[in-house]
């Protein structure tokens, strides 16, 4: 049996088994298993043997950096972010990847990431998105709360170090102004159970042509509802979650999936999230 797993701590309810089992089924791989393995931070350093026992694995918080010392090689994506969320095992040689960036880029494929882009938040996912937007020529506004200005300044310096011709500015999220081709929420504001919260004013939403929200629970955040009510395109986090998993299967065994099959899995994830909240 080929064993796959998600490692992290603590591991509560996860959509990963649902997604990966469907992808394995679509690939005709019945002799596989996907499990959740909770590894405490103090036990991570001694987990190389466990990693070698798996054909492939996903990595979530708090191990995305700690696991780097346990792999033999880092792909470009993992080097770029100094973060690993996917590992392949090729005959005992472990290679670390970051498929979060692939998940974002594929789910935002039809959105104008090369235009004027406002990114709300500058944490882990906000950092990744900002760098990818810069790599694709977008003009970036990092909109943050006052406590995060220093972190935003560090991110701005990192972006300019990686993309010297990038356009980046920092703004207070509470007084954000301007017109944007794309508004991206990379904060937890609006996440279940606090579903009545929205990170920006209605004016900012009105002045944005499209919206991307990394949150997948709820499947339609208040930000997305407001954008759609104005006739704007709004994409939620479930697609990003599924596409990063799709990339993992491509890495692990060369999996190939149709757009139709991926869309069905995204809908399955959204239905599962909705059922979970009832």
Could you list the active site residues?
A: 64
Q: How far apart are CA 250 and CA 23, in angstroms?
A: 10
Strand order in the sheet with 32-38: 32-38, 2-8, 56-59, 86-90, 93-97, 73-74
Give the residue numbers of the binding site for NADP(+). 76, 214, 237
One DSSP character per residue, 198-217 reads: -SS-HHHHHTBSEEEE---S
Q: How far apart are CA 187 and CA 253, in angstroms?
A: 33
Give the residue numbers of the binding site for shikimate. 14-16, 60, 85, 100, 216, 244
Give the residue numbers of the binding site. 14-16, 60, 76, 85, 100, 214, 216, 237, 244
Which phi and psi (to 5°) does residue 156 adopt?
A: -60, -45
Residue 77 in contact with residue 103, Cβ under 8 Å? Answer: no
Classify residue 33 as exposed, middle or buried by CB count within 10 Å of its CB (0-12, 13-18, 19+): middle
């Amino acid at each position: 049996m080929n064993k796959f797993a998600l490692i992290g701590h603590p591991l509560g309810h996860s959509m990963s088994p649902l997604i990966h089992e469907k992808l394995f089924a679509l690939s005709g791989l019945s002799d596989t298993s996907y499990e959740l393995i909770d590894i405490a931070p103090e036990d991570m350093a001694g987990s190389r043997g466990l990693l070698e026992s798996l054909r492939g694995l996903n990595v979530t918080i708090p191990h995305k950096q700690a696991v780097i010392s346990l792999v033999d090689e880092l792909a470009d994506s993992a080097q770029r972010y100094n973060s690993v969320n996917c590992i392949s095992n090729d005959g005992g040689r472990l290679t670390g990847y970051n498929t979060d960036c692939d998940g974002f880029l594929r789910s935002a494929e039809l959105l104008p990431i090369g235009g004027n882009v406002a990114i709300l938040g500058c944490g882990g996912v906000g950092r990744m998105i900002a760098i990818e937007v810069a790599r694709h020529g977008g003009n970036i506004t990092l909109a943050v709360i006052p406590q995060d200005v220093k972190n935003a300044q560090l991110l701005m310096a990192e972006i300019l170090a990686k993309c010297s011709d990038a356009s980046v500015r920092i703004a207070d999220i509470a007084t954000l102004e301007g017109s944007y081709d794309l508004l991206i929420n990379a904060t937890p504001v609006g996440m279940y159970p606090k579903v009545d919260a929205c990170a920006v004013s209605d004016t900012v939403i009105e002045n944005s042509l499209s919206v991307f929200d990394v949150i997948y629970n709820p499947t339609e955040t208040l930000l997305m509802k407001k954008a759609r009510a104005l006739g704007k395109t709004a994409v939620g986090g479930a697609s990003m979650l599924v596409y990063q998993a799709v990339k993992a299967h491509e890495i692990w065994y060369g999996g190939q999936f149709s757009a139709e099959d991926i869309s069905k899995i995204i809908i399955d994830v959204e239905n599962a999230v909705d059922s979970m909240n009832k």
